[in-house]
Structure 1
């Protein structure tokens, strides 16, 4: 399959199993890692083959294995991916604002940004508003959550889970994906108080919990610079274990020697729209199959206890659960059942 095949992006974004990814890669001109290895910015083994894809370390750091394997629990990197999606939506709104008013002051915090750009306060505070205002603010929040989702799929034959996080935010230009979505310890957020993360690490830990990770992104048209590609960049991430060595690392498919990812032209990327797509395939939850859907709902609401904006969860079904955090759920319970709704009584036990 040539790199300019018209159905390539569709196959990449639809992949949910290792078999599908293997089938895609088997038809691409990929140089095996034993024939070409990126050791450092200036040191390589093997020769770069023009017109072929090569495995380049995530973050362009050959020693990235230790940092990427930092996740102690499989749900945390997924929460980080969702937070990244929230930031992408906030940043898109900020950039739109600057297009109309280049001197507009920055919001002082993520919650201030959400209130300014999307019109609703903290999700738990919405439950404390009067009925009319609560309904109006809830409608605003519900509109936003359709722009960010996490989806759980299960491949019965291979007994594999796939988790896809999709946002319709600012997106990245293809030529910058290797320096942003595939970077490690690099950040453009340090001087932006309206964003959440800052260390450039979080979500990358998901690479270590999946056999393959598919990454696709496309810049929103209205904020795209004149010299930025209008198409979508894509790649596949996997672990590589070099022969005769004990230090595996994580690498992605690169199309150029400086690390840029393959690109699908604008005509074939229109259906993708804008934003980012992360699909982690053969994701290891370390739990029984029957409990994963319930576990995701509970765990994500717990980890993102009071998120700055809501999102949608598709857990082995085609209908979405609105995800607003446990704080909102508790506040809603108090609104419906009164201030004693959270009280818990304990049976008296005899003192022995």
Structure 2
């Protein structure tokens, strides 16, 4: 029976999935834990579920030999050393789609609020001023929304924006099929020059680090608005601050930051704090009750599928093998070094013990090979022990 440990107040929908599948040894922690406490909590765990604040580095993973699979109950997986996990034969799953609507709704809401100068007007009323002027306030209808990164979230933002009467253009490094009346632009510079509102939906990486820098901001329309709900490293904060102070940009909304506080009591260190035309939110784009429930269910179902069948479809660091109906009495999950003879060694060892392989499903990814083998007879601990001790084996489990 698998022992499951969940951190950071993961939605109860995850536990419901585990219990319904017959896994009732589920331990939940409301927060992320410090390094030593984390190691203690992971002792004997076969499944771990985390969100963005729990960091599973190579050292923590090495101290968790029983760990079989990791679930990131969020979109990002930067908090896990994916290569180290794969090197231990541990697949990592995430939830790339479940919070799409929540993020998209927040982005559109921020665009409308900033176009109408609501943050500034709200602050003025609280301060005792009745600033009723329409100067600098605009409808969303007829304005151009520029989407940088037209993936699941970016395209959903475009769909919602069109319903509000906005014209939608987008730029992506890959060719994408437009939704609705959205139109691709030939270059990022063209998008920046045409957009009244620019919203970012790109991954972190060398290619996107400070993608929106001083030069890119200078290319934006005077009076434009910038929204970033993707990754904190995508925007040069000092350049953005300068553009807001000079009036070149009319406003901004940021949900992510280059360095984010590690606890609720730690303040955000940013020059953007206190600016009346800037919306700052604590990385809550996907934090709705609906999205958290969906994420809990989505990731837990992937973890259960792996535990029960070995399916790794959707894993971010592992060879992907889709769900397969069991063809034999026993099923062996074998993670091995992707070297010549690995499959032959597995087949020979099984055959030497009078067992017949009736179905196999193999995929490789870089240095890792992963094969699901269905065996006609009963596989004993002797065979599993021999497979685990073989030089090509990284991990071997019986399900």
TM-score of the superposed pair, with normalisation by structure 1: 0.23
Greater Rg, structure 1 or structure 2?
2
TM-score of the superposed pair, with normalisation by structure 2: 0.21
Larger RCO, structures 1/2 (Cα 8 Å, 6+ apart): 1
